[in-house]
Amino acid sequence: MGQGPTTGRSEVSRRRVSLGAILGAGWYGVLLIVSGLVSASGEMDRGTMVMLLLAGLAPIAVFQGLAMSRAGAEGGSGRGRVLEQRMHELTCAMERMTSEAGLSEGAKRVLHRREERELLRRAIEQDIADQDWDAAMVLVRELAERFGYRSDAEEFRSRIERARAQTLDQRVVEALAELEELVRRRQWTEAYADAARIMRLYPESHRVDRLRERIDQARMAVRRELEQRFRAAAEREQVDEAMELLRELDAYLTPAEAEPLRALAAEVIAKSRENLGVRFKLMVQDHQWMEAVNAAERIMREFPNTRMAQEVLEMMPALREKAGAAEKR
């Protein structure tokens, strides 16, 4: 019961302190707004603005001092330490404000150049990690020209150029690997289109020099190989193999290039047609109707404009009927 009045007085004191803090903060905020508006209108110099800010902060500082004294008198050592810390922070803020308020923007930049330098360096490092080379180079120029750290800028520029070159070279290597796969599969139309795309994307890379000529050379090598194999198969009278090679070789030859092979090709074609005709007759004679149908279809497919193709076409309904009956047995 004896502590009731003391507790009541402490509560009243705390409320007064809180109310005073609110009023002080409000007064300071109004003062800052007025100072900013007047400064923006150009009607107040920096010295006057500093004095105005000090005048506004002084009551707050006095109030904090009184609050600390009251807290100490009431035995609140913990609360006193908190208020003392706040007072110290307020004093430091006032010192910084008064020391910088009269400085120009250029002077402030010089004062904080170390922090800005570190911030800029971190931003450049992030752009390098993101492979955003153009953005990184913009910041490098800023570092050299605005802040004067030319040595740092040159170091970053070298790193960016090396990283860009390595990344670009890796992309070119990957693109060329895909192109080589198209060449290996002899997909020449796709290979030429892909080569044109690579040369557009990476014109500065030495790896794409004479890229189309390299595809021409690869295609020519395949053509020579096919021609050699065709001649060898024809000489060995391996007619079926020679015909397959002739069909593949046809896609590589212009009329002028095909002229030296015309006689040999005609001979191989004649033998192939003759062999198919003999095979068809044997299948019919042996009543191997399904094989006869297959031989007839091949004759019509490979030699559609011949008399033999017309003859087997007329025989096809009967051949299919007999082949169907043979399957049912």
Do both 232 and 314 map to the same domain? yes
Among 35, 69, 104, which residue terminates a domain? 104
Do both 246 and 155 map to the same domain? no
Three-class SS of 266-284? HHHHHHHHHHHHHHHHHHH
Do both 138 and 246 map to the same domain? no
Structural domain boundaries, residue 18: 4-104
Averaged pLDDT for residues 102-111: 51
pLDDT for 17 equals 47
Q: Which pLDDT band holds residue 2 (cuts at 50, 70, 90)?
A: very low
Total structural domains within the chain? 3
Do both 193 and 251 map to the same domain? no
Residue partners of 121: CB distance under 8 A and separation at least 6: 143, 152, 156
pLDDT for 187 equals 95
Do both 199 and 219 map to the same domain? no
Mean pLDDT taken over the chain: 77
Averaged pLDDT for residues 194-216: 93
Better-scored residue on pLDDT, 177 or 91 = 177
Among 87, 104, 121, which residue terminates a domain? 104
Q: Is the pTM of this model over 0.95?
A: no
Q: Which pLDDT band holds residue 234 (cuts at 50, 70, 90)?
A: very high
pLDDT for 197 equals 95
Among 104, 135, 169, which residue terminates a domain? 104
Residue 194 phi/psi, 5-degree rounding, is -70, -35
Do both 151 and 172 map to the same domain? yes
